[in-house]
Amino acid sequence: MRETVAKWREQATCFQLPLEPGSRQAIMRRLSALEPVLIGNVVLKIEQCDWPYPFNSGYQFYGENQLGRAIQEDEDIEHGGPLQPEKILLAIRWAERQAVNPEEPDGANDGHGRPECS
């Protein structure tokens, strides 16, 4: 998985913090198109997958901060059926929090600095 995440980081479109409304819309479009994005130095990617009946297909969300913390440790946003915009917004908010304060499990903002894309 490390190699896959590294590849996504290389391919990702980078968005600087703080995010502006136009940036959030662009991130939503890219993630909806199953493209990787980098928010600060946090990678996000959505992949379509097989899902149990009755949906038959669904979406898995991948995210990792610079310390290796995965979005799956904090958020339960994988789901069957059509891609849900509110789940994408949760992933974006998680990435913003993690970019600002990666050492906190929930990424709580301590007010120190705003990391940039590297």
- Mean of all residue pLDDT scores within the chain: 89
Assigned domain for 18 exists: yes
Per the CB < 8 A criterion, the answer to whether 38 and 12 are in contact is yes
The reply to whether 11 falls in a domain is yes
State the pLDDT confidence band at 105, using cuts at 50, 70 and 90.
low
In a domain, 112, yes or no: no
Task: Give the structural domain span for 95.
Answer: 2-100
Mean pLDDT over 1-22 rounds to 93
| For range 59-79, the mean pLDDT | 93
In a domain, 110, yes or no: no
In a domain, 106, yes or no: no
Dihedral pair phi/psi, residue 3, rounded to 5°: -65, -40
Residue 65 has pLDDT above 90, yes or no: yes
117 assigned to some structural domain = no
- 2 pLDDT tier (thresholds 50, 70, 90): confident
**Which has more pLDDT, 63 or 110?**
63
Q: Choose among 39, 45, 43: nearest CA to 96.
A: 39
**Would residue 109 count as lying in a domain?**
no
60 domain-assigned: yes
User: Is the previous residue joined to 105 through a cis bond, with omega within 30 degrees of 0?
Assistant: no
What number of CA atoms fall less than 13 Å from residue 72's CA on the CB side? 9
Q: What's the confidence (pLDDT) of residue 29?
A: 98
The pLDDT value recorded for residue 118 is 54
Query: What domain count does the chain have?
Result: 1
Predicted local distance difference test score (pLDDT) of residue 115? 47
